[in-house]
Structure 1
Amino acid sequence: MDISTVLKLADELVFAKTGKHLEYLEEAILQGTLYGQKYSQIAEDFHLSEGHIRDVACKLWKKLSDVLEENVSKANVRYILEKAKFYNFSTIGNDNLTINNVNICPQSSQPSQATPQTEQTPKPHIDLGDAPEIFSFFDRTPQLTTLETWILQQHSRLIAILGISGIGKTTLSLQLIEQIQHNFNYIIYRSLRFSPTLETTLTNLLQIFAPKSETPQNIETQLSQLINYLRQHRCLIILDDIHTLFSSKQLAGQYQTGYENYHLFFQLITQITHQSCLIVNSWEKPREVVQLKKENNAIHCLLLEGLGEAAKEIIREQELLDEDCWQSLIDRYQGNPLWLEFTANLIKELFAGKVSEFLQCDTLILSESLQAQLDQQFQRLTSSEIAVMIQLANENEPVCLAHLIKKLDLPTSELLNAMQSLGMRLLLDVKECDRTRFFSLNPVLKQYVKNRYTERNN
């Protein structure tokens, strides 16, 4: 029996006996125990004292002992729960299932005599906060289908939508709401563009569920209350721009000082039983998504790429000419919706809408708006990452790691960390041939680096 099944069974048993689910910290301690962690390790993961973890664990073992009518401890909890699962099941009537005399499916075996009525889906509570208004949506049917499958069929608890800035993460998220909103009780969108603390974010979310209640100041209580709401209601929460929580001038995915407890929040969302889904949008891959995804099938990542054929609608809306050249324009700008909009405006203003004439320019043209937009991402890079980007911009073809080690005056460990970080920032194109990986930059990023760094230093 896998760990997720053990956790679910424990929660069902406790709820059936007490009418209350396991608290988030109780479930986290149980999970850590099942993974063989010491109390000190669990305490470190949750930024709590070892003494506090021991106190909560002691109460947890007592609670499980009462429910299972056996002496449960850290050493034997998995054995006892597995024994309960496989050996102590009995069926009463046709519908009721009991474990150690605890009824976990209290349904009457009597057939219902009520006349069937048409069930109406309640209208969800939708709070989009500071979500931008979407005027155009270009075909992302495969991505929407994938997200819908993960959420409604596979019951994913955390989904990361990742992609370079301008690729359409926010637009896709808001379109998804239109498509699946009737499957939820609450739908909430919030942007973290101004880097709110976790306390601020939790307070904001809790006020949506209980606007007249006083929000607790203790972050542990706030987390516990939110998890309870996610259990009681089917919720879809979208947190946009989470890359703003990470530090600039440091390797990717490192939280700013004072924001580290977001790691705990995302960890709890994935590890504790509930019926809701959190979507996070970022142009920088969160480290916990990488780490937790290895051991948790409730996490999914969607890497958003260019629009392809659908991008022609952007050019058509701008009323550009030379339709036979549109695909070349799309390919040159990677099908990125925002990059194409900036470029289409420039073509309209300076080339009278003639795409063929614009494509005759000797170099790839980046409008100032496009470069300013990329500045936001590149200002976050470390000096070693910038050195790698400059080297790749000057290469005529993809290169392997050994080539970069030879060319760059960087310690090997620093170079490897920089490469891994650039990958998490989604700034590298990677291809594999004969079990060797080759790295390059897409044409837009290559031209940007030349404009902003290489030519400036010449």
Structure 2
Amino acid sequence: MAYSASLQLDSSSANAPSDIHLKSSTLQKLTLEEALDVLNELVYQARTKSLSEPEIIVVRGAWYDQSYEEMSENSSYKKNYLQRRVAIDLFDLLTKVIGNGEQVCKRNLQACLQAFINQDVIKGSKLPDVSKFYGRTQELVYLKELIATQQFNCISLVGVAGIGKSSLAAKLISDISKDKIFGFDFFIWKSVAHLPTIEDLISELLEILDPQFISPNYTQAKITLLLKVLKQKRCLIVLDELEVLYQNPQLNLDYLIFIRRLVEENHQSCIIVTNRVLFDDFVEFINTKRPFQFIRLEGLDTDSAIKFLGERGITDLKRCQQLIQTYRGNPSELADVVNRIHNMFGNTEIFFENPTTLVSKKLENILNKMVGNILDSIHKQIMIYLAEKTIEGSESITITTILNNFKLTHQVSISTLDLVKALENLERMSLIESVKNPVTKEICFILQPVIKKYVLTDTLGIVHNFDSSNLKIAS
């Protein structure tokens, strides 16, 4: 990782409450009266029965951080009754209603309800479901630290397909929306997977931030207006799946110009982008010390991955560790292989008696597009070279070995500079990994087992389809 309220509510419970009005243009802290009104409506919708008097006592006590002893002293109900009868059932219900995947309890009731109401502030596209979220504790802490400093206009989450970039960004928003210390006025989630033009994207952002704005006709004027708004209002904007820009060079250029202005010009907001590729412009931002940072996501930590697999029926520790190693803790690939084990093999023992590395259809399709549309001949030959060499027993290949042997093995003439650039590009595209030898400190390169399997099988013949005559001659 670059790493208070009256106990008496209007209990005309014969009438169902009307639609719940939770709209707010800013993240305002709830009063207890407001909280009870909202909870009463939500609870009624869930069970057609309003909050009871003892339930209101528990809510009030939780709101003011009272112990159950204090709740009992201020009411006619016994402590054990409030704690063991009322609270347990109430918090189980509230977990389903407002928890969004988090267990609601006395300690976090206020935060969970605030986050539930703040969902109206999260505009744009629908967030990924993070009701089941595993690990990423360090990454979340680091991201919150970066955002709290208000020193970074843009943060990029980079990593291979399925590693959890979008889930991490969504979890971050969910957490931050519970904490006013960050001071955000708006959260905006926008997927760009459908390749909207930069004009359409900016117009939509402006419409979300203030529908009364009259959007200018020209792109740069639109960006200037958006930046003015981002100075006035503190916003957290997520642009998800930015790697699709590789499919359209002109759109790629338009977006990078837009992001450059977001990075280089002054405002109080933060933009998070998720992408599989660390763009050249992003590297430049880092090298020139612009207010930009990136995190390269690795797989889930071992404990989180074991929990992930255990909830899917893989409980043997040794087998879990084997799967985690092979699929590098990638939650999407782990979920796919577990499904295929259950559907095709029946149980893990049969699968491990017939060991193989499975490539998910999702990852295969992504790799087909990247290899077929983006990689040139030298990139493909490097991936083939690394795949073949690691089959022969080496787990990783040193940079020295590559520089000395690649040209001979593949009978190509290419300058050292171009070879190094190609390795850098492959790493930025999350297709190869670099590690430092702990003893020699030399950089080594590896292919993840899943990507190696893809290269070697090459079902569509895309990887091995290249024209060696296009390779540059060494000078």
Same fold by TM-score, threshold 0.5 exceeded?
yes
Tell me if structure 1 keeps the 8 A contact 2:124–2:208.
Answer: no
> Where do 5+ consecutive residues of structure 1 fail to align?
1-119, 248-254
The structural deviation recorded for 1:444 is 1.4
The structural deviation recorded for 1:223 is 1.0
The CA RMSD measured in Å over matched residues stands at: 2.6
**Which residue of structure 1 aligns with residue 272 of structure 2?**
279
The structural deviation recorded for 1:297 is 5.0
Which of 269, 287, 294 is residue 262 of structure 2 equivalent to? 269
SS at structure 1 position matched to 2:445 = strand
Moved more, 189-198 or 336-345: 189-198
C-alpha separation between the residues in 1 aligned to 2:157 and 2:290?
16
Which of 424, 442, 446 is residue 440 of structure 1 equivalent to? 446
C-alpha separation between the residues in 1 aligned to 2:448 and 2:161?
14
The structural deviation recorded for 1:197 is 1.8
Please tell me the residue identity of whatever aligns with 1:280: V
SS at structure 1 position matched to 2:458 = helix
**Which residue of structure 1 aligns with residue 331 of structure 2?**
337
1:365 matched to 2:358: yes
C-alpha separation between the residues in 1 aligned to 2:362 and 2:237?
31
Give the direction of change, closer, same or farther, for the CA distance of 1:291–1:367 in structure 2 (3 Å limit). Answer: closer
The structural deviation recorded for 1:446 is 0.9
1:189 matched to 2:181: no
Please tell me the residue identity of whatever aligns with 1:415: L
Tell me if structure 1 keeps the 8 A contact 2:161–2:363.
Answer: no
Over the matched positions of the two proteins, sequence identity in percent amounts to 27
Which of 411, 429, 454 is residue 425 of structure 1 equivalent to? 429
Which of 147, 152, 162 is residue 156 of structure 1 equivalent to? 152
**Which residue of structure 1 aligns with residue 253 of structure 2?**
260
C-alpha separation between the residues in 2 aligned to 1:386 and 1:410?
15
Give the direction of change, closer, same or farther, for the CA distance of 1:448–1:222 in structure 2 (3 Å limit). Answer: same
C-alpha separation between the residues in 2 aligned to 1:160 and 1:176?
13
The structural deviation recorded for 1:447 is 1.1
**Which residue of structure 2 aligns with residue 405 of structure 1?**
407
Tell me if structure 2 keeps the 8 A contact 1:429–1:439.
Answer: yes
SS at structure 2 position matched to 1:395 = helix
1:201 matched to 2:201: yes
The structural deviation recorded for 1:154 is 4.6
* TM-score for both structures, normalised by structure 2: 0.65
> Where do 5+ consecutive residues of structure 2 fail to align?
1-113, 466-475
Give the direction of change, closer, same or farther, for the CA distance of 1:343–1:275 in structure 2 (3 Å limit). Answer: same
C-alpha separation between the residues in 1 aligned to 2:432 and 2:305?
22
C-alpha separation between the residues in 2 aligned to 1:369 and 1:193?
15
The structural deviation recorded for 1:312 is 1.9
Give the direction of change, closer, same or farther, for the CA distance of 1:126–1:172 in structure 2 (3 Å limit). Answer: same
The structural deviation recorded for 1:153 is 2.3
Moved more, 120-129 or 275-284: 120-129
Give the direction of change, closer, same or farther, for the CA distance of 1:439–1:280 in structure 2 (3 Å limit). Answer: same
Per-residue deviation, residues 415-442 of structure 1 (Å, max 9, x unmatched):
3332221011021121334353222212
SS at structure 1 position matched to 2:249 = coil
**Which residue of structure 2 aligns with residue 240 of structure 1?**
240
Aligned residues: 331
SS at structure 2 position matched to 1:281 = strand
Moved more, 168-177 or 386-395: 386-395
Per-residue deviation, residues 15-35 of structure 1 (Å, max 9, x unmatched):
xxxxxxxxxxxxxxxxxxxxx
**Which residue of structure 2 aligns with residue 450 of structure 1?**
456
Give the direction of change, closer, same or farther, for the CA distance of 1:377–1:337 in structure 2 (3 Å limit). Answer: farther
The structural deviation recorded for 1:407 is 2.3
**Which residue of structure 2 aligns with residue 220 of structure 1?**
220
Please show how residues 93-108 of structure 1 align to structure 2 within 5 Å.
none
Give the direction of change, closer, same or farther, for the CA distance of 1:286–1:370 in structure 2 (3 Å limit). Answer: closer
C-alpha separation between the residues in 2 aligned to 1:161 and 1:367?
22
**Which residue of structure 2 aligns with residue 211 of structure 1?**
211
* TM-score for both structures, normalised by structure 1: 0.67
**Which residue of structure 1 aligns with residue 24 of structure 2?**
none
Give the direction of change, closer, same or farther, for the CA distance of 1:153–1:414 in structure 2 (3 Å limit). Answer: closer
